[in-house]
């Protein structure tokens, strides 16, 4: 039964109820209809199931959402409410990634999308759960509109690789931004020594020009001094629960959003989104209380509440004069499934985020 049919039936029963003296059977009928079909109404009203969403407004005016999935999942919408599936970015797992990352078979994580110099640049993560032998790849397209004759994703290969027992950072969760001076930066990382920042070539938006530098971390359990932790190569810092960076520029500040605690555990997920800001994209980033994010700081923004077990892995954009926050939330109404979370962000006179809508 469709929603419209159900509503029409309830309406007719209600009208009959107003003219009938025997209301008990009628009310029972309405209750039975809601019991039988109410769950489908709830499902229709739920946000789409998604992990690690990023957004872009395409040439056709539609919103395109890229997220974790086989070959990078894609959905599109005209209004950010009703979504339809599109073909994935990667038709098959890139050979270079299969050869580079043991265990990677095409399930591709945490993409990022960025438009620059006439091309859409999509960055994606190739990894396996709980290991830092990972790689970030790069694909380009002239348009996001699948109906365009020039629509074609072209994989450009590897950006950066992390190696187990060698690198104390993890090459996943990329986010790319072009700074005020035209320099291109990619922030990425998860757990181990926290969130990294590296400069990329402005020519190809891909070649690293610097060694990665840690711009946000949490103190790892069992490591008493952060300086010692940072200097010790190859240490497994699995308790440094921070990941999913995103940098957003506004009014002379760079805002760094990251996720604390644990994703991907359904009802046991504890994801929280925190943020800080800096005048310099290279940091240091400070939270609202003046704590540096590279020594554990971060102002709380979203997290577990009465509807969600956790909210994190965010992206932030200016759409139609509104600053929009997107993330995934582990939804209590559907037993912890990850669903799209949206909020409009508002800022106070000092540039700090206040209650969103």
Q: Is the dihedral angle over the CA atoms 22, 25, 29, 34 positive or is it negative?
A: positive
Which residues 6+ apart lie within 8 Å of 272 measured at CB?
259, 260, 261, 300, 302, 303, 304, 310, 311, 312
Per-residue tokens: 13: 């029963």
Judge residue 22's burial from the number of C-beta atoms within 10 Å of its C-beta, 0-12 exposed, 13-18 middle, 19 or more buried: exposed
Beta carbons within 8 Å of 68's beta carbon, 6+ residues apart: 50, 51, 52, 107, 108, 109, 110, 111
Cα angle value 81/109/74 (rounded, 5°): 35
Please, which residues have CB within 8 angstroms of residue 128's CB and are 6 or more apart in sequence?
A: 101, 102, 103, 104, 134
Nearest to 175 by CA among 154, 191, 152, 197: 197
Beta-carbon neighbour count of residue 29 at 10 Å? 15
Mark 178-193 as b/e (b = at least 16 C-beta within 10 Å). beeeeebbbbbbbbbb
- Give CA–CA dist 314/222, Å, rounded: 29
Residue 348 bears catalytic tag:
no
Which of the following is catalytic: 173, 193, 199, 243? 243
Under 8 Å between Cβ of 254 and 248: yes
To the query of whether residue 52 is one of the catalytic residues in this protein, the response is yes
The pair of three-digit structure tokens given for residue 297, joined into one six-digit string: 């700081």
Instruction: Say whether 268 sits in a helix, a strand or coil.
Output: helix
Determine the 3-state secondary structure of 109 from DSSP: strand
* Catalytic residue selected from 52, 112, 167, 287: 52
Q: How far apart are CA 77 and CA 74, in angstroms?
A: 10
Q: What is the token pair recorded at 105?
A: 């078979």
Q: Which two tokens stand for residue 354?
A: 């206040």
Q: Are 241 and 261 in contact (CB under 8 A)?
A: yes
List active site positions: 52, 243
């Amino acid at each position: 039964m469709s929603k419209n049919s159900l509503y029409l039936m309830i309406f007719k029963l209600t009208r009959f109820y107003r003219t009938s003296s025997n209301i008990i059977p009628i009310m029972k009928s309405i209750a039975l209809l809601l019991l039988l079909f109410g769950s489908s109404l709830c499902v229709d009203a739920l946000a789409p199931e998604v992990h690690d969403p990023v957004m872009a407004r395409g040439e056709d005016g539609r919103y395109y959402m890229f997220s974790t999935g086989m070959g990078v999942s894609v959905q599109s919408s005209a209004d950010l409410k009703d979504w339809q599936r599109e073909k994935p970015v990667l038709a098959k797992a890139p050979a270079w990634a299969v050869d580079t990352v043991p265990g990677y078979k095409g399930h591709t994580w945490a993409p990022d999308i960025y438009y620059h110099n006439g091309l859409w640049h999509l960055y994606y993560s190739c990894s396996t759960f709980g290991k830092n032998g990972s790689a970030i790849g790069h694909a380009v397209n002239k348009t996001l509109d699948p109906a365009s004759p020039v629509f074609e994703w072209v994989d450009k290969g590897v950006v950066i690789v992390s190696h187990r027992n060698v690198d104390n950072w993890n090459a996943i969760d990329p986010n790319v931004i072009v700074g005020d001076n035209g320099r291109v930066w990619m922030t990425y990382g998860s757990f181990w020594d926290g969130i990294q920042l590296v400069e990329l070539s402005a020519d190809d938006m891909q070649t690293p020009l610097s060694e990665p530098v840690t711009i946000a971390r949490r103190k790892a359990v069992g490591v008493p001094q952060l300086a010692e932790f940072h200097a010790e190569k190859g240490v497994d810092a699995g308790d440094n629960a921070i990941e999913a960076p995103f940098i957003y520029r506004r009014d002379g500040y760079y805002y760094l959003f990251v996720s604390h605690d644990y994703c991907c555990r359904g009802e046991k997920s504890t994801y929280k989104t925190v943020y800080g800001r800096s005048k310099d994209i290279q940091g240091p980033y400070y939270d609202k209380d003046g704590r540096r994010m590279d020594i554990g700081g971060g102002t709380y923004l979203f997290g577990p509440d009465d509807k969600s077990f956790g909210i994190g892995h965010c992206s932030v954009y200016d759409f139609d004069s509104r600053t929009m926050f997107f993330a995934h939330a582990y939804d209590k109404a559907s037993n912890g499934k990850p669903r799209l979370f949206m909020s409009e962000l508002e800022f106070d006179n000092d540039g700090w985020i206040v209650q969103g809508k």
